[in-house]
Amino acid sequence: MYTVKTPFILRWLYPTLIWYGNRTEKRIFLTFDDGPIPDVTPFIINTLQRYNIKATFFCVGENIKKHPDLFNRLLENGHKVGNHTYNHLNGWKTPDDAYLQNIDRCQQLTVTHLFRPPYGRGKRSQYSKLRKNYDIVMWDVLSGDFDTTLPPEKCLANVLKHTQAGSIVVFHDNIKAIPRITYALPRAIEQWMAEGYEFGTL
């Protein structure tokens, strides 16, 4: 179960996490979780390059280790990278020490001040320690591209309906997302650009 638009109650419960950017500037922050992988990362990079857009990629350490060429390509293209743990861990199900050690292992590769918890799931005890070294980035629009039951057209409609000035939008750099992200990403970008939006990194 997930919601496309992040509920206010979550933002209220976790006010120290970053949920969106400046609402007064017509700028969107595109983010991509779980990569890099050869199945979809090149498509995302090429799409962003076509529109001269920079984005933020929350990378999984083991994927960086497997595909260092793709990770380097992200950096060479001017994109920002964030830490998404080494093994895509669910913070709710992982003891704090093991979770933090896994993040440290990923940090050796990402060297970043940005962190996003996989599944958006972390404990307050984990966040309180992570805030000392990271900006913890969540989102206010979840594309649902990971949902294999979601038609690509609905994925596109979701992001277009809920995105506004300052939105942090999540797409996924993984195999499950391919049918939806390859359909929705370029079409959403074209629509947002037609509406006068600019794009930024976190």
- Residues noted as catalytic: 33, 172
Beta strands per DSSP E along the chain:
27-33, 56-59, 80-83, 114-115, 135-136, 141-142, 168-172, 198-199
CA 180 to chain CA centroid, Å, is 15
Q: Which residues pair with 115 in a beta bridge?
A: 83, 136
CA 115 to chain CA centroid, Å, is 10
Beta strands per DSSP E along 15-139:
27-33, 56-59, 80-83, 114-115, 135-136
Per 3-state DSSP, the chain is made up of helix, strand and coil in percentages (nearest 5) of: 45, 15, 40
**Exposed/middle/buried for residue 117 (C-beta within 10 Å: 0-12, 13-18, 19+):** buried
